Structure 1
Amino acid sequence: MIKLKVVIIGFMLIFLAGCFPSSDLSKQEMLLQGSTMGTTYNIKVVIENNTVDTKKIHLGIDALLVQLNQEMSTYIADSELSRFNKSTSLAPIKISVGLQRVIKEAIRLGDLSEGTLDVTVGPLVNLWGFGPEYQPDIVPSDEALLLARQRIGLSKLVLIGNKLSKKTPSLYVDLSTIAKGYGVDLVAEYLEEKGINNYLIEIGGEMRLKGFKHTGELWHVAIEKPIQDASGEQRSVYQVIIPKNNAVATSGDYRNYHEANGKRFSHIIDPESGKPINHKLVSVTVIHSSSMTADGLSTAMMVMGEAKAIAFAEKNGIAAYIIAKTEHGFVEQSTVKFMQYLK
């Protein structure tokens, strides 16, 4: 499942001030850009007195993301995850620290959301034409859906320490709902290890921010208006937020979909029905200390639909902001915990 981009103020749109600018000319803001996980990344770091070798930092970031891809991509045939998916063995195998971290959190969030977030839903994603072999005109038969649904289920994935196993030989794990967020967290950890504590990291729309811009201003982020325009030409700001030292993830279905037989199908699959979601909720934004967690939660809530998503977020103390489409236009709701981040 591919996540929608959160618009970054200062990268794509306009500049917004969070406080009075600083006159400290010793601080410099550097932009590091590149490609990873089938998308792009944009990272702003604030350097003081040229004390950090940004070229070396950039190379380090690229190395981390290459390793992450080699561990978790379903698009790389010999990745660690692809090898696990291809195996029909039920014996536990030792996995990398990174893969262990992501699968552990995926299982936790799957349990928390009562199966709404299910990283074993890959066979259904592929069946509807949104997987590695993209097929935009696919509408599966009921028989095909039944067979695919029999292959999925988070309870069939077992993680004990650093050993991973499957209870059914055909189990297939897809971490696209959480891996980009983990990539953001990984980069944040790396930057802080290098003594950089003022940054904005964005990978494929998933974000994490800390500290201030070089001017002394707080980082500002804009949630885009959920307009169904595949070209992206009509993108505009819907709500500006100030996340402070947190991560931001937005999930939605208004830009990544396909049409077949005159019907529109979302890329987000409901594990319970085995079909693309079909409700009025069009966008969910979650703020959390971890980008990986925010990534997974925003997708889970997107599957739930408007009423269930807000109830789930309030019950679990999640900072969430949702946008639903009605016959009168867009209507937004936010949890109590989210309100502190509204501009």
Structure 2
Amino acid sequence: MKTGQVLKQSRFIISRNWLLALTLAFLFSCSDNNQKSGKQEVLLQGNTMGTTYTVKLIGDEQDVENKQVHEKINALLKQVNQEMSTYIPNSELSLFNKSTSGEPVAISEGLERVMAEAIRLGKLTGGKLDVTVGPLVNLWGFGPEYRPETVPSDELLAETKAKTGLDKLTLAEHKLAKALPSLYVDLSTIAKGYGVDKVAELVEANGYQNYLVEIGGEMRLKGFKHNGSLWHVAIEKPITTERAVQQIIVPKDNAVATSGDYRIYFEADGQRFSHIIDPDTGKPINHKLVSVTVIHPSSMTADGLSTAMMVMGEKQAMTFAEENDLAALFIVKTEDGFEQQSTVKFVQFLK
């Protein structure tokens, strides 16, 4: 498609993260109602970050109630939102984005932790994870703004791309600064993962060592279910026409994050435009890799790495994962369907 070609009669597809539904359905189906151990599975649910959360604790329901664990989780997630949401006008991150000052700004411990990891992963992945690409996401119509009727021109693309870049961010001495007044930071690629980590830390601090924490499909698990079996997670087959399981994994005491481009995209004149933007080109990714799952002790790190490797494409992502000793599973689209590949470190988690 030539630059500037009109995107008429296009199809725009946005769907919820079905990995969550599949995972929870599988976890419930594997649940043993014969509670010989005497332990219970306490289910806590709610809304956060524009999605839902689920926490499963193995213990005593009255104990969970007495410790006010649900209330503590809600308060914690409210604080995380207030620190790094781009949808709350007066959130800490929103105020930083609105500011045109280049002076360093003191930031909260939570925002500093996430920004530090975003910058670290950005450098580690050679810039493939870039939390400043929001203007490019909007340009291609996957942000809060309306989708343009034409493919952005090379000039507009270059102009927008100049407004992005991790190199324009500086984090030092608990302060964050931007070299470009209009720089916009969006932490959606790792904020949910951070929320999962914080909730996991909270439930452990309250004495629970067997749990599942999930926010919008990102999750962290530890220990065993009430029947003594390990937690199982279902990875979705990357198709839009139905919900099906691609692979069952047993993450053990780890976090799991999956990134894919098969649920959010638009099509025009036979060409498919993914919602995942390559910071190097400023354009939607265009390769055969359709899903990446990462298993890592930190949900925030797994969240960021799965997105970065989706940007890379199958060959670069596999090389990167092996070189960095990551547990990663890749699903690649072929002429005959889908091909599943994984790093050596991931094999131990396959069911």
User: Partner residue of 1:53?
Assistant: 65
User: Partner residue of 1:23?
Assistant: 36
Judged with a 3 Å threshold, the aligned counterparts in structure 2 of structure 1 residues 23 and 244 are, in CA distance, closer, same or farther, namely: same
Structure 1: state its 5+ residue gaps. none
User: Partner residue of 2:170?
Assistant: 158
Deviation of 1:56 after TM superposition, in Å, equals: 1.8
Deviation of 1:70 after TM superposition, in Å, equals: 1.1
Amino acid paired to 1:127: L
Runs of 4+ in structure 1 deviating by more than 6 angstroms, as ranges, are none
1:83-94 matched pairs, under 5 angstroms: 83-94=95-106
User: Partner residue of 2:8?
Assistant: none
Deviation of 1:139 after TM superposition, in Å, equals: 3.0
> Contact (CA 8 Å) 2:49, 2:81: kept in 1 or not?
yes
2:271 to 236, 257, 263: 263
> Contact (CA 8 Å) 2:26, 2:233: kept in 1 or not?
no
User: Partner residue of 1:32?
Assistant: 44
Amino acid paired to 1:11: L
Q: Are 2:110 and 1:102 aligned? A: no
1:6 to 19, 27, 39: 19
Equivalents in 1 of 2:233, 2:121: separation in Å? 25
Deviation of 1:128 after TM superposition, in Å, equals: 1.1
Q: Are 2:139 and 1:133 aligned? A: no
The alignment's TM-score, normalised by the length of structure 1, stands at 0.93
Judged with a 3 Å threshold, the aligned counterparts in structure 2 of structure 1 residues 190 and 261 are, in CA distance, closer, same or farther, namely: same
> Residues 113-143 of structure 1, C-alpha deviation per residue, up to 9 Å, x if partnerless?
0101011111101111112335375632222
Q: How large is the RMSD of aligned CA atoms in angstroms?
A: 2.3
Equivalents in 1 of 2:225, 2:165: separation in Å? 44
Judged with a 3 Å threshold, the aligned counterparts in structure 2 of structure 1 residues 134 and 61 are, in CA distance, closer, same or farther, namely: farther
Structure 2: state its 5+ residue gaps. 1-13
1:243-254 matched pairs, under 5 angstroms: 243-254=251-262
Deviation of 1:167 after TM superposition, in Å, equals: 0.9
Equivalents in 2 of 1:259, 1:29: separation in Å? 43
> Contact (CA 8 Å) 1:323, 1:333: kept in 2 or not?
yes
User: Partner residue of 1:278?
Assistant: 286
User: Partner residue of 1:199?
Assistant: 211
Q: Which has the higher mean CA deviation after the structures are superposed, 282-291 or 193-202?
A: 193-202
Deviation of 1:33 after TM superposition, in Å, equals: 1.0
Amino acid paired to 1:135: R
Deviation of 1:265 after TM superposition, in Å, equals: 1.2
The alignment's TM-score, normalised by the length of structure 2, stands at 0.91
Deviation of 1:37 after TM superposition, in Å, equals: 0.8
Equivalents in 2 of 1:221, 1:129: separation in Å? 32
1:76 to 88, 93, 98: 88
> Contact (CA 8 Å) 1:279, 1:305: kept in 2 or not?
yes
Deviation of 1:94 after TM superposition, in Å, equals: 0.3
2:342 to 327, 334, 340: 334
Judged with a 3 Å threshold, the aligned counterparts in structure 2 of structure 1 residues 322 and 277 are, in CA distance, closer, same or farther, namely: same
User: Partner residue of 2:248?
Assistant: 240
Amino acid paired to 1:199: Y
| SS of residue matched to 1:172 | coil
> Contact (CA 8 Å) 2:196, 2:299: kept in 1 or not?
yes
| SS of residue matched to 2:116 | helix
Judged with a 3 Å threshold, the aligned counterparts in structure 2 of structure 1 residues 306 and 269 are, in CA distance, closer, same or farther, namely: same
Deviation of 1:164 after TM superposition, in Å, equals: 0.2
Q: Which has the higher mean CA deviation after the structures are superposed, 38-47 or 286-295?
A: 38-47
